[in-house]
Amino acid sequence: MIAMVKNLEDLQQVGKDNMDSALKCWGALSKGTQAIAVEMADYSKKTFEDGTAALEKLFGVKSLDKAIEVQTEFAKTAYEGFVTEATKLGELYADLAKETYKPFEAMLAKAK
């Protein structure tokens, strides 16, 4: 009878540990996806503003050479911004994966 009670207590502790890990995982997932969404919204806003500014500049040019210069400058800036943003997002996704895995890492260490 005592062994059964001990096993039941162990089972309850395992269940509690699993629930704690799941809640921590969901918390990290929520926080990480929110950070990614904010970053994407900021990038979209900046990209739109930059595109609008370049278009306004383009409407104001008087020669083909100046138009090509404005377009080239915009393309270069847009590409550099995209590469920077892709790097940031890659880091955010990597952090999200690490933080989401952490609660289970401790649980797997106990199982060994």
Does residue 41 contact residue 83 with C-beta atoms inside 8 Å? Answer: no
CA dist., res. 106 & res. 25, Å (int): 12
Q: What pLDDT shows up at residue 112?
A: 64
What's the confidence (pLDDT) of residue 33? 94
Q: What is the pLDDT of residues 21-45, one digit of tens each?
A: 888 888 889 999 999 999 999 999 9
User: Can you give the pLDDT at residue 4?
Assistant: 57
Domain residue spans of the chain? 2-111
Neighbouring residues of 58: CB distance < 8 A, sequence distance ≥ 6: 67, 70, 71
Q: How far apart are CA 76 and CA 95, in angstroms?
A: 29
Q: 41-60 pLDDT, tens per residue?
A: 999 999 999 999 999 999 99
CA 86, distance to chain mean position in Å, is 10
